[in-house]
Structure 1
C-alpha cells in the first residue's frame, strides 16, 4: 500500500550587508599662554669698613716722631734729670760737710762733674708690635621685594567631527517553504 506522504522543503533566506565604517577626527587647538613676569627688586646698602693703622710708635722708635711728642719726651726726661741732679747735689753737700773724712771732696766733685753727661733719649722704644692695626667691619643691608609671574591661560575646546557609518542590507537568497504531497490516495479516509 502506497501511503500518501507530505514533503516539506525549506530554504532560509540569506542576507548580505554592505558596510561603510564611520569616521571621526579630533583636533585640539593649542591653548594661548600669556605670561607676565615682574622682576625681583634688590636694594643693597653698605657702609665701608674702616682700617686704622697707628704707626706713631714705629716712627718714634726710628727717631722721626712728631714735634709735639718729641718735646713732651724731652720735658719728661728733663724733669727726671733735674730730680736726679737735686738728689746728687744733696749727696754732694753731705760729702762737703764731712770734714772728718780727710778727703778733698771739692776737687773730686769738680772732677766728676767735668765729664758727667745728662743724655736725653728722644727715640722711642723699639718693639716688634709698634704698629697698631685696627679694623672695624662695615655693614651690609639687603632689602628685596619678591617678583611674581602672572599666567593667563586660555584653553580651547577640542574640535570633534563624527561621520557615522552606513549599513546597506540586501537579499542574496529568498526564503521559501515548499510542501508537496505524494501518493495515490490523497483524499481517501483511512
Structure 2
C-alpha cells in the first residue's frame, strides 16, 4: 500500500559579518614658546660709615699730650699745693715751738723731708685700659629694586590626525528556505 508522505525541509538564513577596525594616527608637535624677562632695575645708595678714635686721654696719661694742656693741669694744682705746704710749715713751726718735747724737732723735720712725696701730681690722667675712646656709626645702604614682568609668548601647533575608517560588511551568507514535498511512501519497503 502506498501512502502519501509529507516532507518539510527547512534551511535557516545565515548572516555573514566582516569587520576591519579603524586605524588612527596622531602626530603632535611642540608649540613655539618664547620667554623674555627684562632685567630688573636696581638702585643702591649708601652713606659712608664713621669711625672716630679719641686717644687724647691715653696720650695725656703717658704725659705726651699737648704741652699747654699739661702746664694748665700743673698750674691748676698750685693753689691746693700752696695751701698744703703752708699747713705743713705751720705744723713744723708748732713742732719746733714745742720745747717740752724731748726729741730733736729739727732732726725729725729733716728726716720727714727726705721721705716726703711731692704734692704735685705730674700724671695728668690715670693710665687705664679704656683711655682710648672709639665710636663707630655704621653707614646706611638704601636699596630700591623695581622688578620686571615676565613676557611669555606661546604659539600652539595643531596636531595632525589621520583616520582610516573601519569597515563593517553585513551580508546574507545563506538564504533561508522551506521545501515541502509530497511523496509516495511504500509502507513495506
Q: For this structure pair, what is the TM-score category when the shorter chain's length is used for normalisation?
A: 0.5 to 0.7
Q: Which runs of 5 or more structure 2 residues have no equivalent in the other structure?
A: 100-105
Is the 8 Å Cα contact of residues 17 and 167 (structure 1) preserved in structure 2?
Answer: yes
Q: Deviations over 1:65-93 (max 9, x none)?
A: 013322322432345556667x66xx69x
Q: Secondary structure of 2:24's partner?
A: strand
Query: Within 1, Cα distance between the matches of 2:171 and 2:47?
Result: 99
Cα deviation digits, residues 119-162 of structure 1 (max 9, x gap):
75443222332121222222222211123211111222222211
Match of 2:28 in 1: 28
Q: Shift of residue 169 of structure 1?
A: 5.0
2:54 counterpart residue number: 54
Q: Structure 1 stretch 32-41 or stretch 163-172: which is displaced more?
A: 163-172
Task: Indicate the residue corresponding to 1:188 in structure 2.
Answer: none
**What aligned pairs does 1:1-190 form with structure 2 within 5 A after superposition?**
3-78=3-78, 80-81=80-81, 120-124=120-124, 125-168=126-169, 172-183=173-184
Pick closer, same or farther for the CA change 1:68–1:143 going to 2, 3 Å: farther
Deviation >6 Å, runs of 4+: 115-119
Counterpart of 1:187 in structure 2 is none
Q: Distance in 1 between matches of 2:71 and 2:24?
A: 111
CA RMSD after TM alignment: 3.7
Given that 1:42 and 1:142 are in contact with CA atoms closer than 8 Å, whether structure 2 keeps it comes out as yes
**Which runs of 5 or more structure 1 residues have no equivalent in the other structure?**
96-100, 103-107, 185-190
Q: How many residues align?
A: 170
Cα distance, 1:141–1:153 mapped onto 2, change above 3 Å = same
Matched residues in 1 for 2:68 and 2:37: separation? 66
Deviates further, 73-82 or 61-70:
73-82
Pairwise CA distance, 1:60: 0.8
